[in-house]
Amino acid sequence: MVLLLLNYIISIVFTSGPARMTVPYTTFVQQANAGNVKDVTAQSNSIQGDFKKTVTYGTASGTLFQTERPVFAQDNLVALLTQHNVPITATPPGSGSPLLSLLISFGPALLLIGGLLYLSRRMQTTGPGGILGAFGQSRAKLYSPDSGPKTTFADVAGIEEAKQDLAQVVDFLRTPEKYQRLGAQIPHGILLVGPPGTGKTLLARAVAGESNRPFFSLSASEFVEAIVGVGAARVRDLFAKAKAAAPSIIFIDELDAIGRSRASSATFGANDEREQTLNQILTEMDGFTPNQNVVVLAATNRPEVLDPALLRPGRFDRRVTVSPPDRAGREAILKIHTRNLRLAPDVNLDDIAGATAGFVGADLRNIANEAALIAAQKGEDQVTHADFDEAIERSVLGLRRPIVLGPDEKRLIAYHESGHALMGLLVPGADPVKKLTIVPRGLSLGSTYSQPIDDRYNYPESYLRGRITLALGGRAAEEVAYGAVTTGAESDLQQVNQIARSMVARFGMSPKLGPLNLTQPGNGDVAQHFSEETSKLLDEEVRRIVDECHRESVRMLTENRDRLDRLAEAVLKKDTLDTDEIYAATGISKPASSHPVIAPPLPANGSARDGDLAKDEVGSEIRR
């Protein structure tokens, strides 16, 4: 709106001189290359000038012209013009005609009046037309083939399957004839599905970069505006532009912001707008003829909330899954994001990949950056492995929190955390405990951090039980040492509940319920369509597993009471213990090689991170 008005003002000012024809920037560059430009005057990105010979554009022709240089233009216009000896004059923005400065100083008032005018018109017009039509033009960002540094598949790693799926689309966009000759049809709508930060947006940009075709990108949340009708008008405009530039790509990010199922969304107000926008997308997608070479990519991390209409044949009927990377993938992603860092020779990306199970591309990028920041802060001239360790720790545990605990509280936390850590040593097959600390970080007052050795795709029942036993260790230690429990175990108990429910409802690990999966495909939530009896049984079985693990935890800690005391004293003295110190304090000998357990982002919700599971939050609740 503001821009439109300003444009309008500027064009009034400029056109008040001799009549100038407006030519596309590309025409201007062509003429400059042909040596047909006599002189130019530039005011920021607006260029006016004279052609040497008359040029015809559309219905207009003449030698006086004006054009707008796109802000994303990467060409060297100055070099081109000097090469052809074109004199260049520039006026500072805002200078120039006194009329212009007058208008600018009255700008705010004019805007207000303009806005009121717009609103009053808006009451009368319902369709897109007049001012509304202009307003409804999409703010889609156009990345044309020659603008800016390109994103290519080389910038994307760790999601090879998704890349392969999209390679075909790229090939089609490059050489549509090859496919059309055989009558093959490329799907128009492709939905990228995956957890946040896995690289969906990045991948879409890479498709544009690889295929070298115009790319219209729009974030769906931009559509959802208060004024009804604008979203739909933008969609229409976006598709029109893309069709005109075909073969081309439309990218709708965060599709769930508008594409949410109409039945499930009950919010009032914004709804109408969203529905109209959604309908317009559906109409546009249905309106494609087979040889319209526009590929519509969309991304979401919540496919389950999408309106089923969007997924029907002819619409987003092709799905590309973007999963969190495995160890090798993480290493490859780290390689990309450490390209420009000065790494010390001791940095081992494979090790870092191993320590970051469950991290996605965006996390890894942050870690690389954080490590560089830490190194810079310390005044080092290379980024060392220790910097990476610290960056990972920060990302898992949060920043140190300046908080002063009383001695009693500190002792309680020391026991709680020691309980976790000791269980980590005693439970067979548990992930190795890396660190035990009673330094408050993020939301937690203390933490035990055990690091999974690698991704795991398969969980033996004993491993899951071990995790529950370990998570209950903090509370059990409070019981054993104090005979009472505090509220500090809340987040532990959430984990416990989550794991136990998964065991019973998802992995069929309850003999009473049998090998049933009661969860909804996709999101892992427990489905609703089973009998009350089953549901009761489910609760009972969860309770049984948790009780058994709890008893086990209390038993082990009672038997090892002296070790628990020693460990708690040690951490009270030093605040933080590493693996070796933990073993030393308990008098348990460290196993020669870490056990071959491979651990995991636990698929509790498909997206739970093992980091979340491995870290323990004593809970903000004990904060006083």
Please name every residue paired with 318 in a beta bridge, in sequence order, or none if there are none: 190
478 in contact with Zn ion (CB under 5 A): no
Report, in Å, the least distance between residue 251 CB and ligand ADP. 10
Nearer to ligand ADP, 365 or 416 (CB): 365
Write out the binding residues for Zn ion, residues 574-603 only, by CB under 5 A: none
Instruction: Determine if the peptide bond prior to 601 is cis (ω within 30°).
Output: no
Q: What token pair was written down for 390?
A: 């610290």
Report which residue's Cβ sits closest to Mg ion.
201
From CA 113, how far away is CA 259, in angstroms rounded?
35
Q: Which of 115, 148, 196, 591 binds ligand ADP (CB under 6 A)?
A: 196
Longest C-alpha distance within the chain, in Å?
A: 98
From CA 106, how far away is CA 108, in angstroms rounded?
6
Q: What token pair was written down for 202?
A: 């990045």
Report, in Å, the least distance between residue 180 CB and ligand ADP. 31
Report, in Å, the least distance between residue 354 CB and Zn ion. 25
Q: Which of 275, 284, 417, 479 is catalytic?
A: 417
Residue 277 contact partner, candidates Mg ion, Zn ion, ligand ADP, none, CB within 5 to 8 A by sort of partner: none
Residues of this chain that interact with Mg ion (CB under 5 A) are: 201
Write out the binding residues for ligand ADP, residues 286-315 only, by CB under 6 A: 299
474 in contact with Zn ion (CB under 5 A): yes
Cβ atoms 160, 199 nearer than 8 A: no
Nearer to ligand ADP, 158 or 446 (CB): 158
The length of the chain is 624
Residue 270 contact partner, candidates Zn ion, ligand ADP, Mg ion, none, CB within 5 to 8 A by sort of partner: none
For the question of residue 273 being annotated catalytic, the response is: no
From CA 275, how far away is CA 257, in angstroms rounded?
11
Residue 197 contact partner, candidates Mg ion, ligand ADP, Zn ion, none, CB within 5 to 8 A by sort of partner: ligand ADP
Q: What token pair was written down for 12?
A: 């009034």
Q: What token pair was written down for 98?
A: 């006194």
431 in contact with Zn ion (CB under 5 A): no
SS3 388: helix
Residue 99 host element (H or E): helix 98-105
Q: What token pair was written down for 397?
A: 């545990």
Report which residue's Cβ sits closest to Zn ion.
474
Residue 616 contact partner, candidates Zn ion, Mg ion, ligand ADP, none, CB within 5 to 8 A by sort of partner: Zn ion
Task: From residue 144, give the alpha-carbon distance in Å to each of 153, 209, 215.
Answer: 17, 9, 6
Residue 492 contact partner, candidates Zn ion, ligand ADP, Mg ion, none, CB within 5 to 8 A by sort of partner: Zn ion
Q: Which of 409, 492, 541, 552 binds Zn ion (CB under 5 A)?
A: 492
From CA 236, how far away is CA 228, in angstroms rounded?
14
Report which residue's Cβ sits closest to ligand ADP.
361
Q: Which of 77, 86, 159, 545 binds ligand ADP (CB under 6 A)?
A: 159
Task: From residue 398, give the alpha-carbon distance in Å to each of 99, 443, 462, 492.
Answer: 56, 8, 30, 17
From CA 111, how far away is CA 117, in angstroms rounded?
10
Residue 198 contact partner, candidates Zn ion, ligand ADP, Mg ion, none, CB within 5 to 8 A by sort of partner: ligand ADP
Q: Which stretch binds ligand ADP (CB under 6 A): 358-366, 394-402, 469-477, 610-618?
A: 358-366
Q: What token pair was written down for 538?
A: 């489910």
Report, in Å, the least distance between residue 267 CB and Zn ion. 37
Q: Which of 200, 434, 563, 615 binds ligand ADP (CB under 6 A)?
A: 200
Cβ atoms 470, 480 nearer than 8 A: no
Nearer to ligand ADP, 65 or 223 (CB): 223
Residue 259 contact partner, candidates Mg ion, ligand ADP, Zn ion, none, CB within 5 to 8 A by sort of partner: none
Residue 550 host element (H or E): helix 532-559
Cβ atoms 464, 503 nearer than 8 A: yes
Which residues contact ligand ADP by CB under 6 A?
156-159, 194, 196-202, 299, 333, 336, 361-362, 365
Positions annotated as catalytic residues are 417
